[in-house]
Amino acid sequence: MTATTTTVPVQDNAELIAHPVLLLVANRYSANPRQRFLQVTVALTALSCVPSLMGPPDAASKIALVAAHLIAAAVIVPVLARQAHR
């Protein structure tokens, strides 16, 4: 699968939907939901960068796409992690 202008926004939107769902699951089933949420989101953020690295042929596009994933995660993950039950 190559990252195109249509697949990257879909991936970012999927992340925005998946993160709150992961938080709900962690709150319900984990003894330490904040830690579990952070572990899973870091792993999924790393995996979400793989198509961006494999898709475009030039380095500038790869860097821009990976940066977009990391910026989105840097914004949404800490906000949601604060909502995890202690």
Distance between CA atoms of 20 and 83, rounded to whole angstroms? 10
Contacts of 40 (CB under 8 A, 6+ apart): 22, 26
- Residue 11 phi, psi dihedral angles, 5° rounding: -65, -45
pTM for the full model?
0.68
* Token pair in block for residue 53: 């690295």
Per-residue model confidence as pLDDT tens digits over 29-85: 888 888 888 888 899 889 888 888 888 889 999 999 899 889 988 988 898 888 887
